[in-house]
Structure 1
Amino acid sequence: MKAAVYDVEGAPGVLKYVDVPEPVTGPDDILISVEAISIEGGDLINRRSTPPLPSWIVGYAAAGTVVAVGSKVRSRTVGDRVAAFHMQGSHAERWAVPAERTWLIPDGVGMAEAAALPISFGTAHHCLFTRGMLRQGETVLIQAAAGGVGLAAVQLASQAGATVIAVVSGTQRRGRLRELGADHVVDRTKDNIVDSVRQYTHGTGVDLVIDPVGTTLPVSLSALAPEGRLVFVGNAGGNSLTVDLWPAMQSNQTLMGVFMGPLFTRHGVRTSVDEMLQA
């Protein structure tokens, strides 16, 4: 079968589409004929900076049709349409993944949408509500709001009755973000984020920040209200993280890290993704 691989980290040109051995379907696995893949931020970071392991196939999110099931699998059958998350191997014609890392795709939901939903919306939901404890009437600042997790967070926070401040680079997505539920859009290339937040919150700061960038943590902390919460999820900025936490301690703020990889098999995350696929 064909799959996307790379031998050395670097620019997109290092990717190759080559013949690789067929995946082995274990007793707890299902074999998916891949019809849509989701290119995630982690794929880009890995390709740019992480030497590949032997037999490494790019990608960790996709959707397709089940063509075989392992001997212990009872929850999936051949012909099921599924979305899946696993640590590697999705950017290929076929993909063997543990059945517990898949979600059934309901009628009316396309493969492309289903491939992208678990990571973007599952991550955003977990950060906003499980860790961030966002409540109706609160104000949330979303860094990198035009990215996958950011776009999902804007929609979910707006639907929950929060005031949403979205941070983007440039103005080209301002209208789209407002359509999706952002109350205010801040262009970080022109606007001072903290000053804008103070203006929109009448000087108090936001109750919650969702930060998938990492290098923006000092700004995110400065935008928080006293006793506010900051959830950082990843390091898309790609640099080391150095943050002065003394002001956060003085303001009784809470800083939480989220790494979603091991969480997708937990009941709460699985259930939230199922519910969003059905919505």
Structure 2
Amino acid sequence: MKAAVYYETGAPAVLRYEDVADPTIDSNSVLVQVAAISIEGGDTLNRLGGAMAAIPHIVGYQCAGTIVAVGDAVTDRTEGQRVVCVMAHGSHAELVSVPASFTWTVPDGIDIPLAACVPIAFGTADDCLFEFGGLQKGETVLVQAGAGGVGIAAIQLAKRAGATILATASTDEKLARLLPLGLDHGINYCDEDFVDAVRRLTDGRGVDLVVESVGATLAGSMRSLAYRGRISFVGDAGRDTEPVDLSSLKEGNQSIHGVFLGAELLTATRAYTNIERLIGL
């Protein structure tokens, strides 16, 4: 089969499109003919310097397609079913072998390319907002990196929940594309300090919840919080390793939750059924 691979981490030039061996399935897995892939922020970060499970390393951790073979112990999947699936690596290929428990059926009427983008981004955003963020109707949310995958999902889900949504992005063009998705106020962080903008847009109060996926903006996100505000810390796309002083949180009875969907999928059936719900929205 053909697959997107690399033999070493680095710039985009390390990527290759090559023939590799077809995957095999065990008794609890299914074999999927891939029709669509999603390119996640983690793909870029992994290519730049992540761990390599094998050489060559097959890129990607989310795709959608049609089941073409089923393991002997699998009882809830059949050949011909359309599914979206997640895995540690290997999705950017013509075929992928994945445990059946990490697949979700795609309902009729939903396009495969659309379904391929749902589990990671929308599952993560939903956990940031509700499971760990405790978002309530009428609250105000700041979505850092609003034009990213998790950001786009968070804006739509927060709007459905009745929240007021602020988001940051690097250009006015990116912010304009977010308006039809439910964005109320866009902040171009290249033109103005986002903390000042948040205070201005909330009449000095701050926001109830921040979806923080950048890392380098964490200190500013803390300064953007209202009294008893919360931060869902979901990523460090900026790869900023500078320590952040958390002592100010206690003065405002504020809190930070780490959010990692992968751990939830391994330990909580709630996460699986939640993604099933999100695919059908």
Matches of 2:41 and 2:159, distance apart in 1: 24
Matches of 1:216 and 1:271, distance apart in 2: 32
Matches of 2:175 and 2:42, distance apart in 1: 25
CA offsets, 1:118-155, max 9 Å, x none? Answer: 11111101110000010000000000000000000001
Alignment correspondent of 1:114? 115
Within 5 Å, give how 1:265-276 maps onto structure 2: 265=266, 266-276=268-278
Contact 1:232 1:258 in 2 (8 A): yes
Number of residues of Structure 1 aligned to a counterpart in Structure 2: 279
Alignment correspondent of 1:170? 171
Q: AA paired with 1:173? A: K
User: Which SS does the other structure have where 1:207 is aligned?
Assistant: strand
Matches of 1:7 and 1:174, distance apart in 2: 37
Alignment correspondent of 2:92? 91
Matches of 1:51 and 1:151, distance apart in 2: 27
User: Which SS does the other structure have where 2:88 is aligned?
Assistant: coil
* 1:81 aligns to 2:85 (yes or no): no
Q: AA paired with 2:113? A: A
Contact 1:155 1:181 in 2 (8 A): yes
Alignment correspondent of 1:127? 128
Q: Which runs of 5+ in 1 are unaligned?
A: none
Within 5 Å, give how 1:36-51 maps onto structure 2: 36-50=36-50
CA offsets, 1:148-187, max 9 Å, x none? Answer: 0000000100110000001111100222211111110000
Within 5 Å, give how 1:46-65 maps onto structure 2: 46-50=46-50, 52-55=52-55, 56-65=57-66
Contact 1:87 1:261 in 2 (8 A): no
User: Which SS does the other structure have where 1:172 is aligned?
Assistant: helix
User: Which SS does the other structure have where 2:46 is aligned?
Assistant: helix
Matches of 2:277 and 2:123, distance apart in 1: 10
Q: AA paired with 1:215? A: A
Matches of 1:236 and 1:91, distance apart in 2: 21
Matches of 1:262 and 1:206, distance apart in 2: 27
Within 5 Å, give how 1:175-186 maps onto structure 2: 175-186=176-187
* 1:254 aligns to 2:255 (yes or no): yes
Matches of 2:174 and 2:109, distance apart in 1: 27
Structure 2 length-normalised TM: 0.97
Contact 1:127 1:231 in 2 (8 A): yes
Matches of 1:248 and 1:220, distance apart in 2: 11
Matches of 1:272 and 1:196, distance apart in 2: 34
Alignment correspondent of 1:30? 30
Structure 1 length-normalised TM: 0.97
Within 5 Å, give how 1:214-229 maps onto structure 2: 214-229=215-230
User: Alpha-carbon deviation of 1:241?
Assistant: 4.4
Q: Which runs of 5+ in 2 are unaligned?
A: none
Matches of 1:65 and 1:111, distance apart in 2: 9
Alignment correspondent of 2:6? 6
Q: AA paired with 1:42? A: G
Contact 1:6 1:52 in 2 (8 A): no
User: Which SS does the other structure have where 2:210 is aligned?
Assistant: strand
Matches of 1:222 and 1:35, distance apart in 2: 44
Q: AA paired with 1:184? A: H
Matches of 1:54 and 1:20, distance apart in 2: 12
Alignment correspondent of 2:237? 236
Alignment correspondent of 1:140? 141
Q: AA paired with 2:92? A: H
Matches of 2:54 and 2:149, distance apart in 1: 29
Matches of 1:156 and 1:143, distance apart in 2: 15
Contact 2:147 2:175 in 1 (8 A): no
User: Alpha-carbon deviation of 1:51?
Assistant: 5.0
User: Which SS does the other structure have where 1:175 is aligned?
Assistant: helix
Matches of 2:149 and 2:175, distance apart in 1: 15
Matches of 2:2 and 2:88, distance apart in 1: 18
User: Which SS does the other structure have where 2:10 is aligned?
Assistant: coil
Q: AA paired with 1:24? A: T
